[in-house]
Amino acid sequence: MENISKYLENKRFIQWVFKPNNELEEWWKTFKTEYPKEKHNIQLARKVLFQLKVTNKTFSEEEKILLFSKILQQITEKQKSGKTVGFIKVFMKYAAVAILFFSIGALLFHRQDNFNPQFDLQNLAESNSGNEAKLIRPDGENILLEEKKSLIEYIGDGQVIINNNIHKPISTIKKGAPELNQLIIPYGRTSKIFLPDGTKVCLNAGSRLVYPEFFSDKNREVFLVGEAFFEVEQDKNHPFIVQTTDLRINVLGTKFNISAYPFDNIIETVVTEGKVSLEQKNARLFTETTELKPNQLASFNKNSGNIKITNVETDNYTLWKDGLYKFESTDLSRVAKRLERFYDIHFQFADPLLGMIRITGKLELGENRDEIINRVALAASVRIVKKGEFIYEINQ
């Protein structure tokens, strides 16, 4: 699927599929003649786009998030079987493609006054790369977040402060369904955002948050890929909903953490204050509801569909937002995965069984990653050898 992403990320190709004209027909006819080997990729890209196609209607905020999550869920399931090395980058690219259908306004192709067919965006992948932290606004503006820890805050009337810089509101009328923003935080970065309703979200490394420009529906709904800690602003009349590819978390006013990375088979939800309810998604929308109270962890298994509730020490799951990592009798493989995301590095196990070693301790995550890695090696009684700038090998 990597070979077709260049077409799915090309506005001119998308318009040709859904709203063709003589000029576009001629252009792509010539292209296929000059590059016959691309015919198969073009055919596959057209099929993917038709799967994403929806009716010409105005979507509510909740409908947008729901449809987006279904698309990502299908993509995740298909990509798992491929076991490709670049899955993360491909996953993020396709998430960006799905959002493209909504962020420019319901469907780009039903608002041709905002689309110039002469403008050929050849490489949307560059603006949605998994290597840069950025905020993508509904009008297509990409705001790069240079700081390792970024801060975003909505202050009213559509204005947003990003790392102490004020950005003017997008010139849209506050009525109807709001358009969507994407906050993309790659490995090695974190971010904190105050949403338009005042809800505070700490976004961990390797995560993506999709949220509306303003909350207008009965529910305040966002979409999460990765991990985030939420402090929800209470509003009894407008419940707050966090949606992942597999779960829907409903809250009023509370504090909780969600870890829903696409590669992890388990989605973890931990409540530190208040209550949340979890609804599992399937082909017929939602099934059972599970209530979660303070100091409880819900572990949802994507394969079996089972949810396990346990009482836990919440600091072990939430201190990452404060730059700390506390673990208690935790598998070395899990600790390594945390460090991989925080420092944007990769660990190789000389023996897979080494990943089962359980260790206990607390790490103050900072700039000196080698020092942190040495502490982990000491706690696990293993050797961690640096094999490259970003690669480490764990052995006896």
Q: Report the pLDDT value the prediction gives residue 173, as an integer from 0 to 100.
A: 47
Q: Report the pLDDT value the prediction gives residue 294, as an integer from 0 to 100.
A: 96
The answer to whether 276 touches 292, Cβ cutoff 8 Å, is: yes
CA distance 276 to 253: 9
Q: Report the pLDDT value the prediction gives residue 104, as an integer from 0 to 100.
A: 40
- Residue by residue, DSSP assigns 254-285 as -EEEEEE-TT-SEEEEEEEES-EEEEEEETTE
The answer to whether 192 touches 207, Cβ cutoff 8 Å, is: no
Cα-to-chain-centroid distance, residue 370 = 28
**Structural domains in the chain?**
54-311 (2.60.120.1440), 323-395 (3.55.50.30)
Burial 141-153 (b: 16+ CB within 10 A, else e): eebebeeeebebb
Which run of H or of E encompasses 149?
strand 149-156
Q: Report the pLDDT value the prediction gives residue 32, as an integer from 0 to 100.
A: 82
> Could you give the 3-state DSSP secondary structure of residue 308?
strand
For residue 215, give every residue at least 6 positions away whose Cβ sits within 8 Å of its Cβ, in sequence order, or none: 61, 178, 195, 196, 197, 238
DSSP secondary structure letter of residue 164? T
pLDDT tens sequence for the chain (396 residues)? 446 666 765 667 777 877 777 777 877 887 788 778 888 888 877 776 665 554 444 555 555 555 555 555 655 555 555 544 455 555 555 555 555 544 443 333 333 332 222 222 222 223 334 578 999 888 778 899 988 899 999 987 778 999 989 888 776 545 556 778 889 999 989 999 999 999 999 999 999 998 888 887 788 989 898 999 999 988 888 999 998 888 889 997 899 999 999 888 899 999 999 999 998 875 343 456 889 999 999 999 988 888 999 999 999 999 999 999 999 999 999 999 999 999 989 999 999 899 999 999 999 987 689 999 999 999 999 999 999 888 999 998
Which run of H or of E encompasses 27?
helix 22-34
Q: Report the pLDDT value the prediction gives residue 31, as an integer from 0 to 100.
A: 78
CA distance 103 to 147: 25
Burial 171-210 (b: 16+ CB within 10 A, else e): eeeeeebbbbbbbbbbbbbbbbbbbbbebbbbbbbbbbbb
Q: Report pTM.
A: 0.71
Q: Report the pLDDT value the prediction gives residue 111, as an integer from 0 to 100.
A: 32
